[in-house]
Amino acid sequence: RLSIKEIISEPLIINRLYTDKKELSEKVYHYMDIVGLARRYANSYPHELDGGRRQRIGIARALAVQPKFIVCDEPVSALDVSIQAQILNLLQDLQEDIGLTYMFITHDLSVVKHISNKIAVMYLGQVVEIADTDELFNSPRHPYTKALLSAIPVPDYEAAQQPIDIIRGEVTSPIDPKPGCRFAVRCPLACDKCRTADPQLTNIGGDHQVACCQLKL
């Protein structure tokens, strides 16, 4: 029920980041310019715009409070591929221009590879592997990470013939989980220790850490 101008103004008003209405309007237009929203949309409503422009509104609203750190929770999951690329490129440009740090939460591994410098892989709330992006994609060590990466569609016939690591079994209930590795019931390498003790992240070289008691260091 708010116009684009009112949506971007809201955090500025709440945090008192302006001195008068003229400055407020100037700041709103400034952030619209930064995210590539034409000023003619200032009095439009979100339902009148496409998904990409709506996403830009959200980014402009987040930038209005001049953050250094932004949590992006599935920011492109509802967009088609071409719009995804536009938003990801915008986020990267803003990162370089303003010096932002993102925590990017997503299940889309192609997005992860494109946007991230460092990746933490989680399974049912447990971090199972942490590494720099290139290191993780080139040398995954945890069984869950390997299965995830093997499932990425590859536009290459020869590469597509490689077997996929299929994850079998049922997902453990995330409600009051038992001690031990939460991936143990689906892991082909699991032993009794995996089912009784929480695995600890272990540094295996550089900044690469893995939580797996079966890992050969």
Query: What's the pLDDT score for residue 153?
Result: 75
Rounded to two decimals, what is the model's pTM?
Answer: 0.83
d(CA 67, CA 91): 13
Per-residue pLDDT of the chain (217 residues; tens, 9 = 90+): 899 999 999 999 999 999 999 999 999 999 999 999 999 999 999 999 999 999 999 999 999 999 999 999 998 888 888 888 999 999 999 999 999 999 999 988 888 888 999 999 999 989 999 999 999 999 999 999 998 888 877 777 666 566 777 788 888 788 888 888 989 888 888 888 888 888 899 999 889 999 998 776 5
d(CA 62, CA 207): 30
d(CA 90, CA 60): 11
d(CA 107, CA 112): 8
What are the backbone angles phi and psi of residue 106, rounded to the nearest 5°?
A: -160, 160
Q: For residue 180, what are the contacts with CB-CB under 8 A and spacing of at least 6?
A: 194, 195, 196, 197, 198
C-alpha distances in Å from residue 154, one per residue of 82, 96, 109, 149, 150: 18, 30, 12, 10, 9
